Protein backbone atom coordinates (compact mmCIF):
# COMPACT_ATOMS: atom_id res chain seq x y z
CA UNK A 1 0.00 0.00 0.00
CA UNK A 2 1.37 3.41 -0.96
CA UNK A 3 1.59 6.13 1.67
CA UNK A 4 1.87 9.77 0.70
CA UNK A 5 4.84 11.42 2.36
CA UNK A 6 3.78 14.43 4.38
CA UNK A 7 5.17 17.81 3.44
CA UNK A 8 6.90 19.81 6.14
CA UNK A 9 5.40 23.30 6.46
CA UNK A 10 7.20 26.04 8.38
CA UNK A 11 5.23 29.19 9.28
CA UNK A 12 7.21 32.30 10.27
CA UNK A 13 5.19 34.78 12.34
CA UNK A 14 6.53 37.18 14.97
CA UNK A 15 2.94 37.78 16.11
CA UNK A 16 0.91 34.72 17.09
CA UNK A 17 -1.84 34.15 19.67
CA UNK A 18 -2.31 34.90 22.50
CA UNK A 19 -0.94 38.19 21.09
CA UNK A 20 -4.07 40.29 20.45
CA UNK A 21 -2.85 42.08 17.31
CA UNK A 22 -5.01 41.38 14.26
CA UNK A 23 -2.01 40.07 12.32
CA UNK A 24 -1.71 37.08 14.67
CA UNK A 25 -4.94 35.58 13.34
CA UNK A 26 -3.80 34.70 9.80
CA UNK A 27 -0.79 32.50 10.67
CA UNK A 28 -2.82 30.83 13.42
CA UNK A 29 -5.64 30.07 10.98
CA UNK A 30 -3.14 28.58 8.53
CA UNK A 31 -1.66 26.36 11.23
CA UNK A 32 -5.13 25.31 12.40
CA UNK A 33 -6.76 24.50 9.07
CA UNK A 34 -3.93 22.88 7.12
CA UNK A 35 -4.73 19.18 6.64
CA UNK A 36 -2.59 17.39 9.25
CA UNK A 37 -2.96 14.14 7.30
CA UNK A 38 -0.95 15.78 4.50
CA UNK A 39 1.33 18.19 6.37
CA UNK A 40 3.66 18.36 9.32
CA UNK A 41 3.19 21.92 10.56
CA UNK A 42 5.66 23.95 12.60
CA UNK A 43 5.39 27.60 13.62
CA UNK A 44 8.31 29.82 14.62
CA UNK A 45 7.09 32.77 16.68
CA UNK A 46 8.38 35.23 19.27
CA UNK A 47 8.32 34.03 22.87
CA UNK A 48 8.35 37.54 24.37
CA UNK A 49 6.76 39.80 21.72
CA UNK A 50 6.02 43.48 22.02
CA UNK A 51 2.30 43.60 22.86
CA UNK A 52 0.80 46.93 21.74
CA UNK A 53 -2.72 45.43 21.93
CA UNK A 54 -2.10 43.20 24.94
CA UNK A 55 -2.75 39.47 24.97
CA UNK A 56 -5.64 37.08 25.55
CA UNK A 57 -4.41 34.91 28.39
CA UNK A 58 -7.51 32.70 28.11
CA UNK A 59 -6.51 31.70 24.57
CA UNK A 60 -4.51 28.49 24.18
CA UNK A 61 -2.33 28.89 21.06
CA UNK A 62 -1.40 25.19 20.95
CA UNK A 63 -3.02 23.14 18.19
CA UNK A 64 -3.01 19.36 17.85
CA UNK A 65 -0.54 18.37 15.17
CA UNK A 66 1.27 21.73 15.21
CA UNK A 67 4.69 22.23 16.80
CA UNK A 68 5.00 25.72 18.25
CA UNK A 69 8.62 26.94 18.39
CA UNK A 70 9.02 30.07 20.52
CA UNK A 71 12.26 32.04 20.22
CA UNK A 72 12.99 34.98 22.52
CA UNK A 73 13.79 38.44 21.19
CA UNK A 74 16.58 40.58 22.61
CA UNK A 75 14.02 43.36 23.05
CA UNK A 76 10.47 42.12 23.12
CA UNK A 77 7.87 42.65 25.82
CA UNK A 78 10.08 45.26 27.49
CA UNK A 79 9.14 47.61 24.64
CA UNK A 80 5.51 47.38 25.76
CA UNK A 81 6.46 48.69 29.21
CA UNK A 82 8.40 51.57 27.66
CA UNK A 83 5.41 52.40 25.46
CA UNK A 84 3.20 52.50 28.57
CA UNK A 85 5.67 54.90 30.19
CA UNK A 86 5.39 57.09 27.11
CA UNK A 87 1.73 57.64 28.03
CA UNK A 88 2.62 58.69 31.58
CA UNK A 89 3.42 62.37 31.73
CA UNK A 90 4.92 62.47 35.23
CA UNK A 91 6.03 60.39 38.21
CA UNK A 92 8.56 58.26 36.33
CA UNK A 93 12.10 57.88 37.58
CA UNK A 94 15.11 59.42 35.82
CA UNK A 95 16.35 55.96 34.75
CA UNK A 96 12.94 55.18 33.26
CA UNK A 97 12.96 58.53 31.44
CA UNK A 98 16.39 57.72 30.02
CA UNK A 99 15.19 54.30 28.85
CA UNK A 100 12.13 55.95 27.32
CA UNK A 101 14.30 58.48 25.46
CA UNK A 102 16.52 55.70 24.11
CA UNK A 103 13.45 53.68 23.11
CA UNK A 104 11.89 56.58 21.19
CA UNK A 105 15.22 57.28 19.48
CA UNK A 106 15.64 53.60 18.59
CA UNK A 107 12.15 53.54 17.07
CA UNK A 108 13.32 56.02 14.44
CA UNK A 109 16.39 53.93 13.66
CA UNK A 110 14.81 50.48 13.60
CA UNK A 111 14.89 48.64 10.26
CA UNK A 112 12.84 47.02 8.95
CA UNK A 113 10.69 46.75 12.09
CA UNK A 114 10.79 45.73 15.76
CA UNK A 115 11.49 42.17 14.67
CA UNK A 116 15.10 43.22 14.00
CA UNK A 117 15.85 42.31 17.63
CA UNK A 118 14.29 38.88 17.09
CA UNK A 119 15.96 38.16 13.74
CA UNK A 120 19.49 37.31 15.03
CA UNK A 121 18.03 35.05 17.72
CA UNK A 122 16.01 33.10 15.14
CA UNK A 123 19.04 32.83 12.83
CA UNK A 124 21.07 31.47 15.73
CA UNK A 125 18.32 28.96 16.52
CA UNK A 126 18.11 27.81 12.90
CA UNK A 127 21.89 27.36 12.65
CA UNK A 128 21.78 25.13 15.71
CA UNK A 129 18.80 23.22 14.29
CA UNK A 130 19.92 22.76 10.71
CA UNK A 131 17.76 19.65 10.28
CA UNK A 132 14.68 21.85 10.58
CA UNK A 133 15.96 24.01 7.71
CA UNK A 134 17.00 21.05 5.54
CA UNK A 135 13.71 19.19 6.01
CA UNK A 136 11.38 22.13 5.30
CA UNK A 137 9.36 21.75 2.10
CA UNK A 138 7.27 24.94 2.28
CA UNK A 139 8.02 28.23 4.06
CA UNK A 140 5.14 30.62 4.74
CA UNK A 141 6.10 34.07 6.02
CA UNK A 142 3.61 36.85 6.63
CA UNK A 143 4.09 40.60 7.03
CA UNK A 144 4.00 42.95 8.75
CA UNK A 145 6.58 42.61 10.16
CA UNK A 146 8.85 42.27 7.19
CA UNK A 147 11.40 40.58 9.46
CA UNK A 148 9.36 37.40 8.97
CA UNK A 149 10.28 37.54 5.27
CA UNK A 150 13.95 38.13 6.11
CA UNK A 151 13.92 34.92 8.14
CA UNK A 152 12.20 33.05 5.30
CA UNK A 153 14.80 34.39 2.87
CA UNK A 154 17.58 33.09 5.13
CA UNK A 155 15.97 29.62 5.16
CA UNK A 156 15.45 29.70 1.39
CA UNK A 157 19.14 30.49 0.92
CA UNK A 158 20.10 27.46 3.01
CA UNK A 159 17.51 25.20 1.37
CA UNK A 160 16.83 26.25 -2.22
CA UNK A 161 14.44 23.31 -2.76
CA UNK A 162 11.98 24.70 -0.23
CA UNK A 163 9.03 26.60 -1.70
CA UNK A 164 8.65 30.07 -0.22
CA UNK A 165 5.27 31.82 -0.02
CA UNK A 166 5.63 35.47 1.03
CA UNK A 167 2.36 36.84 2.38
CA UNK A 168 1.66 40.60 2.54
CA UNK A 169 -1.16 41.74 4.83
CA UNK A 170 -0.19 45.42 4.48
CA UNK A 171 1.72 47.54 2.01
CA UNK A 172 5.42 47.92 2.72
CA UNK A 173 7.37 49.88 0.09
CA UNK A 174 4.60 50.05 -2.50
CA UNK A 175 1.98 52.66 -1.52
CA UNK A 176 3.84 53.39 1.72
CA UNK A 177 7.60 53.89 1.87
CA UNK A 178 7.71 54.84 -1.82
CA UNK A 179 6.26 58.22 -0.86
CA UNK A 180 8.93 58.87 1.76
CA UNK A 181 12.54 59.99 1.44
CA UNK A 182 15.70 59.09 3.27
CA UNK A 183 17.84 56.03 3.83
CA UNK A 184 15.04 53.92 5.36
CA UNK A 185 12.88 54.36 2.26
CA UNK A 186 15.80 53.22 0.08
CA UNK A 187 16.41 50.21 2.33
CA UNK A 188 12.73 49.22 2.27
CA UNK A 189 12.68 49.46 -1.52
CA UNK A 190 15.70 47.19 -1.80
CA UNK A 191 14.38 44.69 0.76
CA UNK A 192 10.90 44.46 -0.74
CA UNK A 193 12.26 43.98 -4.27
CA UNK A 194 14.46 41.16 -2.96
CA UNK A 195 11.49 39.46 -1.28
CA UNK A 196 9.33 39.68 -4.41
CA UNK A 197 12.17 38.37 -6.57
CA UNK A 198 13.19 35.44 -4.35
CA UNK A 199 9.78 34.21 -3.20
CA UNK A 200 8.16 31.44 -5.26
CA UNK A 201 4.64 32.75 -4.65
CA UNK A 202 3.38 36.03 -3.20
CA UNK A 203 -0.03 36.42 -1.58
CA UNK A 204 -2.03 39.53 -0.65
CA UNK A 205 -5.14 40.04 1.47
CA UNK A 206 -7.04 42.02 -1.19
CA UNK A 207 -7.35 42.07 -4.96
CA UNK A 208 -6.53 45.79 -4.91
CA UNK A 209 -3.21 45.10 -3.19
CA UNK A 210 -2.44 42.32 -5.65
CA UNK A 211 -3.07 44.63 -8.62
CA UNK A 212 -0.95 47.42 -7.11
CA UNK A 213 2.00 45.06 -6.65
CA UNK A 214 1.54 43.50 -10.09
CA UNK A 215 1.71 46.97 -11.58
CA UNK A 216 4.85 47.84 -9.62
CA UNK A 217 6.58 44.48 -10.23
CA UNK A 218 5.29 43.42 -13.69
CA UNK A 219 8.03 40.80 -14.17
CA UNK A 220 6.65 38.85 -11.21
CA UNK A 221 2.92 39.39 -11.69
CA UNK A 222 2.17 35.72 -12.45
CA UNK A 223 3.23 34.55 -9.02
CA UNK A 224 0.96 37.01 -7.20
CA UNK A 225 -2.37 35.92 -5.72
CA UNK A 226 -5.18 37.23 -3.51
CA UNK A 227 -6.28 35.27 -0.44
CA UNK A 228 -8.67 37.11 1.85
CA UNK A 229 -8.67 36.83 5.61
CA UNK A 230 -11.64 35.08 7.16
CA UNK A 231 -13.51 34.07 10.28
CA UNK A 232 -13.72 30.93 12.37
CA UNK A 233 -17.23 29.43 12.50
CA UNK A 234 -16.59 27.97 15.93
CA UNK A 235 -16.31 31.50 17.35
CA UNK A 236 -19.88 32.30 16.32
CA UNK A 237 -22.35 29.67 17.58
CA UNK A 238 -25.96 29.97 16.46
CA UNK A 239 -27.07 31.37 19.82
CA UNK A 240 -24.82 34.40 19.31
CA UNK A 241 -26.55 35.30 16.07
CA UNK A 242 -29.95 35.84 17.66
CA UNK A 243 -30.95 39.46 18.20
CA UNK A 244 -32.15 40.61 21.57
CA UNK A 245 -35.28 42.71 21.79
CA UNK A 246 -34.41 46.36 22.17
CA UNK A 247 -36.02 49.67 21.40
CA UNK A 248 -32.69 51.41 21.01
CA UNK A 249 -30.78 51.81 17.79
CA UNK A 250 -27.25 50.65 18.58
CA UNK A 251 -23.90 50.77 16.82
CA UNK A 252 -20.89 48.73 17.92
CA UNK A 253 -17.30 49.46 16.95
CA UNK A 254 -14.29 47.27 17.75
CA UNK A 255 -10.71 48.39 17.24
CA UNK A 256 -8.61 51.52 17.13
CA UNK A 257 -9.13 54.89 15.45
CA UNK A 258 -5.45 54.89 14.40
CA UNK A 259 -4.81 58.33 15.89
CA UNK A 260 -7.68 59.79 13.91
CA UNK A 261 -6.96 58.18 10.54
CA UNK A 262 -10.15 56.22 11.13
CA UNK A 263 -12.53 59.02 11.97
CA UNK A 264 -15.63 58.54 14.15
CA UNK A 265 -16.87 62.01 13.27
CA UNK A 266 -18.96 61.34 10.10
CA UNK A 267 -21.29 59.01 12.04
CA UNK A 268 -21.47 61.48 14.93
CA UNK A 269 -22.32 64.30 12.49
CA UNK A 270 -25.19 62.23 11.09
CA UNK A 271 -26.50 61.31 14.53
CA UNK A 272 -26.25 64.94 15.68
CA UNK A 273 -28.28 66.12 12.68
CA UNK A 274 -30.90 63.42 13.32
CA UNK A 275 -31.14 64.58 16.95
CA UNK A 276 -31.45 68.22 15.87
CA UNK A 277 -34.22 67.27 13.42
CA UNK A 278 -35.93 65.26 16.22
CA UNK A 279 -35.73 62.04 14.19
CA UNK A 280 -33.79 60.60 17.12
CA UNK A 281 -33.24 61.56 20.73
CA UNK A 282 -30.17 60.81 22.80
CA UNK A 283 -32.27 58.17 24.60
CA UNK A 284 -32.98 56.35 21.32
CA UNK A 285 -29.43 55.43 20.39
CA UNK A 286 -26.33 53.76 21.80
CA UNK A 287 -22.82 53.87 20.34
CA UNK A 288 -20.56 51.29 21.99
CA UNK A 289 -16.82 51.35 21.32
CA UNK A 290 -14.39 48.60 22.32
CA UNK A 291 -10.64 49.15 22.16
CA UNK A 292 -7.95 51.55 23.29
CA UNK A 293 -9.09 54.96 22.05
CA UNK A 294 -6.69 57.89 22.11
CA UNK A 295 -7.52 60.58 24.67
CA UNK A 296 -7.33 63.43 22.15
CA UNK A 297 -9.91 61.66 19.96
CA UNK A 298 -12.20 61.29 22.98
CA UNK A 299 -11.82 65.00 23.69
CA UNK A 300 -12.74 65.90 20.11
CA UNK A 301 -15.80 63.63 20.33
CA UNK A 302 -17.05 65.64 23.30
CA UNK A 303 -18.03 68.53 21.00
CA UNK A 304 -20.77 66.38 19.47
CA UNK A 305 -24.18 66.10 21.12
CA UNK A 306 -24.19 62.41 20.23
CA UNK A 307 -21.22 61.91 22.56
CA UNK A 308 -23.86 61.48 25.28
CA UNK A 309 -24.78 58.22 23.54
CA UNK A 310 -21.21 56.87 23.47
CA UNK A 311 -20.07 54.16 25.85
CA UNK A 312 -16.33 53.43 25.83
CA UNK A 313 -15.89 49.79 26.82
CA UNK A 314 -12.08 49.80 26.76
CA UNK A 315 -10.17 46.62 25.92
CA UNK A 316 -12.49 43.68 26.49
CA UNK A 317 -12.03 39.91 25.99
CA UNK A 318 -12.80 38.48 22.58
CA UNK A 319 -15.80 36.59 23.95
CA UNK A 320 -17.26 39.89 25.16
CA UNK A 321 -16.56 41.50 21.76
CA UNK A 322 -18.58 38.75 20.06
CA UNK A 323 -21.37 39.21 22.61
CA UNK A 324 -21.42 42.95 21.90
CA UNK A 325 -21.65 42.22 18.17
CA UNK A 326 -24.67 40.00 18.77
CA UNK A 327 -26.46 42.69 20.77
CA UNK A 328 -25.93 45.58 18.34
CA UNK A 329 -28.28 46.70 15.59
CA UNK A 330 -25.42 47.69 13.31
CA UNK A 331 -21.70 46.95 13.26
CA UNK A 332 -19.69 50.10 12.61
CA UNK A 333 -16.71 49.86 10.26
CA UNK A 334 -14.29 52.70 9.47
CA UNK A 335 -11.55 52.66 6.84
CA UNK A 336 -9.02 55.49 6.60
CA UNK A 337 -8.92 57.79 3.56
CA UNK A 338 -5.41 56.80 2.49
CA UNK A 339 -4.54 54.16 -0.09
CA UNK A 340 -2.39 52.10 2.24
CA UNK A 341 -5.54 51.58 4.34
CA UNK A 342 -8.46 51.45 1.93
CA UNK A 343 -6.68 49.15 -0.52
CA UNK A 344 -6.48 46.63 2.31
CA UNK A 345 -9.36 45.34 4.43
CA UNK A 346 -9.64 45.52 8.23
CA UNK A 347 -9.70 41.93 9.47
CA UNK A 348 -12.60 42.95 11.70
CA UNK A 349 -14.95 43.00 8.70
CA UNK A 350 -14.84 39.20 8.53
CA UNK A 351 -15.97 38.86 12.14
CA UNK A 352 -18.70 41.39 11.43
CA UNK A 353 -19.79 39.21 8.50
CA UNK A 354 -19.74 36.13 10.73
CA UNK A 355 -22.01 37.86 13.26
CA UNK A 356 -24.61 38.20 10.48
CA UNK A 357 -25.37 41.81 11.35
CA UNK A 358 -25.67 44.69 8.92
CA UNK A 359 -22.47 46.68 8.59
CA UNK A 360 -22.50 50.47 8.47
CA UNK A 361 -19.27 51.24 6.65
CA UNK A 362 -17.57 54.63 6.51
CA UNK A 363 -14.90 54.31 3.83
CA UNK A 364 -13.91 55.60 0.39
CA UNK A 365 -16.19 54.28 -2.35
CA UNK A 366 -13.14 52.66 -3.96
CA UNK A 367 -12.29 50.71 -0.80
CA UNK A 368 -12.39 46.95 -1.24
CA UNK A 369 -14.41 46.68 1.98
CA UNK A 370 -17.08 48.89 0.37
CA UNK A 371 -17.14 46.66 -2.70
CA UNK A 372 -17.48 43.47 -0.63
CA UNK A 373 -20.35 44.95 1.39
CA UNK A 374 -22.19 46.11 -1.73
CA UNK A 375 -21.64 42.90 -3.71
CA UNK A 376 -22.90 40.69 -0.88
CA UNK A 377 -25.68 42.94 0.49
CA UNK A 378 -23.98 43.12 3.86
CA UNK A 379 -24.96 46.65 4.84
CA UNK A 380 -24.56 50.31 3.97
CA UNK A 381 -21.64 52.32 2.60
CA UNK A 382 -20.98 55.98 3.31
CA UNK A 383 -18.26 57.49 1.12
CA UNK A 384 -15.78 59.35 3.34
CA UNK A 385 -13.31 60.40 0.65
CA UNK A 386 -15.89 62.85 -0.68
CA UNK A 387 -18.16 62.98 2.36
CA UNK A 388 -21.25 65.13 1.81
CA UNK A 389 -23.31 65.45 4.98
CA UNK A 390 -26.56 66.34 3.23
CA UNK A 391 -26.36 63.43 0.78
CA UNK A 392 -25.28 60.96 3.46
CA UNK A 393 -28.07 62.17 5.73
CA UNK A 394 -30.72 61.07 3.23
CA UNK A 395 -29.44 57.48 3.40
CA UNK A 396 -28.99 57.68 7.17
CA UNK A 397 -32.56 58.82 7.83
CA UNK A 398 -33.83 55.98 5.62
CA UNK A 399 -31.75 53.57 7.71
CA UNK A 400 -33.29 54.98 10.92
CA UNK A 401 -36.80 54.77 9.47
CA UNK A 402 -36.30 51.16 8.40
CA UNK A 403 -35.01 50.32 11.88
CA UNK A 404 -38.11 51.83 13.49
CA UNK A 405 -40.27 49.75 11.14
CA UNK A 406 -38.57 46.57 12.33
CA UNK A 407 -36.73 45.76 9.10
CA UNK A 408 -33.52 44.78 10.89
CA UNK A 409 -34.85 42.38 13.51
CA UNK A 410 -33.44 39.24 11.90
CA UNK A 411 -29.86 38.13 11.28
CA UNK A 412 -28.57 38.21 7.73
CA UNK A 413 -29.05 35.02 5.69
CA UNK A 414 -26.10 32.66 5.55
CA UNK A 415 -25.74 32.82 1.76
CA UNK A 416 -22.27 33.82 0.60
CA UNK A 417 -20.82 33.53 4.11
CA UNK A 418 -18.93 30.30 3.42
CA UNK A 419 -16.61 32.05 1.01
CA UNK A 420 -15.29 34.06 3.97
CA UNK A 421 -14.61 31.24 6.45
CA UNK A 422 -10.97 30.58 7.31
CA UNK A 423 -10.85 26.96 6.22
CA UNK A 424 -11.87 27.89 2.66
CA UNK A 425 -9.30 30.69 2.51
CA UNK A 426 -6.58 28.35 3.77
CA UNK A 427 -7.39 25.89 0.97
CA UNK A 428 -6.42 28.65 -1.49
CA UNK A 429 -3.02 28.97 0.18
CA UNK A 430 -2.67 25.18 0.29
CA UNK A 431 -3.20 25.09 -3.49
CA UNK A 432 0.06 27.04 -3.83
CA UNK A 433 2.07 24.33 -2.06
The model's pLDDT over 314-327, given as tens digits with 9 standing for 90+, comes to 988 878 888 899 89
The model's pLDDT over 208-222, given as tens digits with 9 standing for 90+, comes to 999 999 999 999 999
User: Is the pLDDT score of 105 beyond 70?
Assistant: no
The model's pLDDT over 118-158, given as tens digits with 9 standing for 90+, comes to 999 999 999 999 999 999 999 999 999 999 999 999 999 99
User: Is the pLDDT score of 50 beyond 80?
Assistant: yes
Q: Is 262 helix (H, G, I), strand (E, B) or coil?
A: coil
Phi, then psi, of 399 in degrees rounded to 5: -60, -45
User: Is the pLDDT score of 89 beyond 60?
Assistant: no
Rounded Cα gap, residues 12 and 208, in angstroms? 25
pLDDT of residue 102: 60
**If residue 23 lies in a helix (H) or strand (E), which one and from where to where?**
none
Q: Give me the chain's average pLDDT, please.
A: 90
86: Cα separation from own chain's centroid:
24
Domain-wise residue ranges, the chain: 7-77+112-227, 233-405
**Fold agreement between 7-77+112-227 and 233-405:** yes
Query: For the whole model, what pTM was predicted?
Result: 0.88
- Tell which CATH classification among 3.40.50.970, 3.40.50.2000, 3.20.20.150, 3.40.250.10 matches the domain 7-77+112-227: 3.40.50.2000
The model's pLDDT over 394-413, given as tens digits with 9 standing for 90+, comes to 999 999 999 999 888 888 88
Terminal Cα distance for the chain, rounded? 25
Cis peptide, bond prior to residue 104, ω within 30 of zero? no
Which residues is 67 bridged to in the sheet? 42
Asked if 20 and 55 touch (Cβ cutoff 8 Å), the reply is yes
Where helices occur in 232-317 by DSSP H, the ranges are 265-276, 295-301
- Burial environment of residue 281 by CB neighbours within 10 A (0 to 12, 13 to 18, 19 or more): exposed
Percent of the chain with pLDDT over 70: 89
Characterize the bridge pairing of strands 310-314 and 285-290.
parallel
Specify the higher pLDDT residue, 418 or 173: 173
Q: Could you tell me the CA-to-CA distances from 356 to 196, 232, 256, 410 in Å, in that order?
A: 37, 13, 22, 9
Q: Which CATH class is domain 233-405?
A: alpha beta
With CA atoms as reference, report the closest residue to 82 among 109, 118, 106.
Answer: 106
Amino acid sequence: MDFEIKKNILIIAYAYPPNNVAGAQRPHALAKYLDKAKYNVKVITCKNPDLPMGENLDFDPHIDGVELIQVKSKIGSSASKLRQNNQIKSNIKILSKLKLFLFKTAQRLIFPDKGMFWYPEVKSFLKKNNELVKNTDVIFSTSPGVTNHRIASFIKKQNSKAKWIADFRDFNYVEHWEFKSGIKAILHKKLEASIIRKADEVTFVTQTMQKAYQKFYPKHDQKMHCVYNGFDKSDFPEMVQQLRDTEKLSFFYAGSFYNGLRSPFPLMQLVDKAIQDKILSTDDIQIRIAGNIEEDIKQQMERFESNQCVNFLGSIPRTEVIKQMSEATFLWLIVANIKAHYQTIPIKIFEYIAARKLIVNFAPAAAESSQIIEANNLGFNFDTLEFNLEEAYIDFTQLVSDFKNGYYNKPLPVENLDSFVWDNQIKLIENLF
